[in-house]
Chain A
Amino acid sequence: MEEDKDPESRSWLKTAGIVIACGLVGIVAVVLGFMLADTLIIYAHESSGERPMLYVMERADPGESTIVPLTGEDFEQHPALDAVIRGEERNPSAWEWGNRDQRVVGGTNVSYAESKALHDIYGPGGEHGLYPLLEYEGAYYVVLTTWP
């Protein structure tokens, strides 16, 4: 009896093991496929010769948007954001042009990879696709990136 049961359960375990291993390998392959596609897309754009822009808008009233505080770490990881909000690329427009509750703080050229990274972190999210407001020293900012 025992001799019969043993190989059966062993082969069942073996099949389950193979299925799980194939599944895991499949997931890894899909993830690698996405990464490869992302790399190729960014490479194709970078070699197009065009440069995306990063713009930062300031909002007077936070309204109902999600507020995320900007930390020193954000500025460290994204020097372009640092330069626009508190560095040499700061070039604020007057509040009166366009909508009076917002103005442009500044902008700078970034690489496609940086533009994508900034959009992924600070771009619109949630079900309504709203831009989160970034709070720094009492002011509220929105990060916009172009993808020419």
Chain B
Amino acid sequence: MRGDRGEHMKLKPNRHWIVMGPLAFIGAILLVATVVLAYTAFFTWLETSSGSPILTVWEVRGELPENASVIHLTEKDFEQHPALDSIIRGDKRDPGAWYSGDTPYGVRDKRTIGSAPVTYVERGVLIESFGPDVETRNQPYLEYDGAYYYFLTMIP
């Protein structure tokens, strides 16, 4: 009898553990996951609310200077720079009216083609690929389908 009662007494806390143990385990997993998700969401929100760089493309017309540097855009270029693709020939293309204004090549006839938000990495990669030569300030013309473009990126 005594032994029986002893075992009975022991079983009670054991059963308690069998139920509470896994519940606490799952609770801890969910708590950590929730904290991590909230932390990530908060920082993503902070990053996006401060804004991303904006890429704007202009088209220029008229005679090109003799020593002009021209980069002929290829399919591969568009594939590797989706933002440029969407502005020059995609859904972000929205050409404005022609006007005479300042360009990196002096005062020329130009029109805006479109803008798109880009990440800082994309901005850096675009400048390294087609941007102005930092040393000489020489900016290449980007040629596609007979039209000449240049771009600028604006940081918020």
Contact = CB atoms under 8 A, between A and B. Distances in A.
Interface in B73-107: 74, 76-77, 80-82
Given A37-B36, A91-B77, A108-B80, A29 B125 contact: no
Nearest to B22: A25
A75 interface: no
Contact of A147 (B80, B119, B130): B119
A32 B29 contact: yes
B42 interface: no
Interface string B113-143: 0000001011011011111111100101000
Contacts of B34: 37
Contact of A26 (B28, B82, B131): B28
B128 A97 contact: yes
A28 B32 CA distance: 11
Contacts of B28: 26, 29-30, 33
Interface in B45-93: 71, 74, 76-77, 80-82
Nearest to A145: B121
Given A104-B129, A146-B119, A147-B119, A97 B140 contact: yes
B130 A97 contact: yes
Contacts of A33: 28-33, 35-36
Contacts of B124: 98, 144
Interface residues of B, number: 36
Contacts of A41: 37, 40
Nearest to B21: A25
B25 A97 contact: no
A34 B71 CA distance: 46
A112 B32 CA distance: 22
Contacts of B21: 25
Given A25-B21, A97-B127, A103-B128, 11 more contacts: A29-B32, A33-B33, A34-B36, A37-B36, A37-B37, A89-B76, A89-B80, A91-B77, A93-B129, A97-B140, A146-B122
| Interchain residue pairs A-B with the least CB separation, the first 8 | A33-B32, A37-B36, A29-B28, A98-B128, A93-B129, A107-B80, A37-B33, A36-B33
19 contacts: A28-B25, A32-B29, A33-B28, A33-B30, A33-B36, A37-B33, A37-B34, A40-B37, A53-B122, A89-B80, A93-B129, A96-B138, A97-B130, A97-B140, A98-B124, A98-B128, A99-B134, A100-B133, A107-B125
